[in-house]
Amino acid sequence: MKHSEGLEWAIHSCALLAMMPPGTPLPRRLLAEFFELPEPYLAKQLQKLSQAGIVETRRGPRGGYVLARKPEDITLLQMVEAIDGPDRHFVCTEIRRCGPTGVAGKHYTRPCGIARSMWKAEAAWRKELAATSLADIQHLGMAETPPEQTAKAIAWFQANLLQGETE
């Protein structure tokens, strides 16, 4: 069982958007370039984040992506569900009712105990993800990004966003 590859890209993209100065939309092209990602596939992840109300697009020559909400108001769970969907990981097909000893559905008054146990573990996972905000992720990132990279990143964004303005 694996998350889609796009999830890593989506969370990093949101974390990068959270770092941008207010009123600085980030064009998709620069987002893809920054992480060295294939732009068409990144576009699909951004579309999912947009559909989930996590990012939004600003049109125009200085357009691009911005966060739709404050980083404090975006959780890791929301990003995960935007990309991988909200469905449970364990699907119960009620095989306990199948076969020669199964009885009518009305006799099974609760969901299967196996499914309930699996879903309880999923709930613990969801709870942890819901307790982690993009702001938390941002603070971890700020503390951990090598100063050499921070300096390069600021210079790169200034050069590239500036370049965009004069194009």
Cβ distance to a copy of itself smaller for residue 60 or 99: 99
User: Tokens in use for 100?
Assistant: 């020669």
* 97, HSE (Cβ side, Cα atoms, 13 Å): 14
CB of 25 or CB of 126, closer to a copy of itself: 126
Kindly write out the interface string for residues 1-30 of this chain, putting x where it contacts a copy of itself by CB under 8 A and - elsewhere.
xxxxx-xxx-xx--x---------------
Distances (CA, A) of 81 to 21, 103, 158: 27, 36, 33
Does 60 engage in binding with a copy of itself (CB under 8 A)? no
Query: Which two three-digit tokens encode residue 35?
Result: 């992480």
Q: Which of 122, 75, 85, 92 is nearest to 4 (CA)?
A: 85
- Please tell me whether residue 110 binds a copy of itself under the rule CB under 8 A: yes
Tell me if 34 sits within 8 A of 65, measured CB to CB: no
Single out the residue of 17, 29, 35, 59 in contact with a copy of itself (rule: CB under 8 A): 35
Which listed residue (146, 165, 166, 167) binds a copy of itself by CB under 8 A? 146
> Of all residues in the chain, what percent are helix, strand and coil, respectively (each to 5)?
60, 5, 30
Instruction: Establish if 163 lies at the interface with a copy of itself (CB under 8 A).
Output: no
Of 51 and 145, nearer to a copy of itself (C-beta) is 145
Residues that bind a copy of itself (CB under 8 A): 1-5, 7-9, 11-12, 15, 33-37, 76, 84-85, 87, 89-93, 95-96, 98-103, 107-110, 112-118, 120-122, 124-129, 132, 136-137, 140-141, 143-146, 148-149, 152-153, 156
